[in-house]
Amino acid sequence: MKLSYFPGCTLKNKAKSLDIYARKSSELFGITLEEIDNWQCCGGVYSTAKNDVATKLASVRALKQAYEKGQALVTVCSACHNVIKQTNHLMKNDTAIAKKIDRYINDGSMYTGQAQVYHYLEMLRDIVGFDEIRKKVVNPLNGKKIGAYYGCLLLRPSSVMQMDNPENPTIMEELISALGGQSIIYANRNECCGGYIAMESGELARKKSNQVIENAKKAGAEMIITACPLCRYNLIKNGSDIPVVYFTELLAQALGIKGDTNE
């Protein structure tokens, strides 16, 4: 099975392991992630301004290419997924904006939100299935206590993302369980880590990050996993004394492919 893939900028630089292990792991399940040709940065933040067309062009081109290939589009980075999913929703539900963007792209065929967009976690749940993942595990996590950190972008706005319950998600906890770990539920797993305000107020970003870490530790977590490069960077930078890793790294470890390639 082939799916179109939008890696995004950070996965080519600071978050290489999020990308590499995502690709390697998907192959074990018979899924090839085909990187979109000539993709451009999604912008990292979705602009809600109605007249802001330029920031949406990269996402629309990626979506359109996937649709024309007859494939769903997969993302791994929480920020990329948020921008692309919201852009796709806009193209599907706002004809005026869709026409305006079409005039910019001007390639003879108008895109109106037809592509299916999956976050990699959704692909694991809805296409592969957690039972199939469980069958492929060769290095189970042996009950390791792991806290899933969703952050603020993966699930919201819930009316558009429609990935999981925004207040009580289970998708990462189900993955942890399938890999043989023990998922730790803690209050701050859906709260912002402060990454987007770090330049404006390092002190506030540090406070929010520390709240996440301390809350997870108090609940018994020995490790935190995340799907967001900015969240991981921010949590580590602000002094986490427990490991903070990408969920794909944990997946690759359990599947026995971690270390199969250079990061």
Q: What's residue 204's pLDDT?
A: 87
Residue 92: name the closest of 51, 59, 49, 52 by CA. 59
Rounded Cα distance between 37 and 15, Å, is 20
Helices then strands, each counted (H, E), the chain: 11, 8
Contact 212, 191 (CB under 8 A): yes
Residue 163: name the closest of 117, 128, 129 by CA. 117
Q: What's residue 179's pLDDT?
A: 98
pLDDT digits (tens, 9 = 90+) for 112-161: 999 999 999 999 999 999 999 999 999 999 999 999 999 999 999 999 99
pLDDT digits (tens, 9 = 90+) for 69-119: 999 999 999 999 999 999 999 999 999 999 999 999 988 899 999 999 999
Mean pLDDT in residue range 203-209: 91
Res 201 pLDDT > 80: no
Res 184 pLDDT > 80: yes
Q: What's residue 178's pLDDT?
A: 98
Q: Do 2-120 and 130-255 agree at the fold level?
A: no
Q: What's residue 260's pLDDT?
A: 41
As a CATH number, domain 130-255 is 3.40.50.11810
Mean pLDDT in residue range 149-176: 97
Domain boundaries, the chain: 2-120, 130-255
Q: What's residue 198's pLDDT?
A: 74
Share of the chain above pLDDT 70, in %: 98
Taking the complete model, does pTM exceed 0.85, yes or no?
Answer: yes
Tell the CATH topology of 2-120. Answer: Glutathione S-transferase Yfyf (Class Pi); Chain A, domain 2 (1.20.1050)
> Residue 50 — very low, low, confident or very high, per pLDDT cuts 50/70/90?
confident
State the amino acid at position 178 in one-letter form: A
Contact 166, 156 (CB under 8 A): yes
DSSP 119-174: EHHHIIIIII-HHHHHHH-SS--TT-EEEEE-TTTSS-SHHHH-SS-SSS--HHHH
Q: Chain-wide mean pLDDT for the chain?
A: 94
Q: What's residue 216's pLDDT?
A: 98
Residue 70: name the closest of 5, 3, 159, 131 by CA. 3
Rounded Cα distance between 243 and 226, Å, is 11
Res 262 pLDDT > 60: no
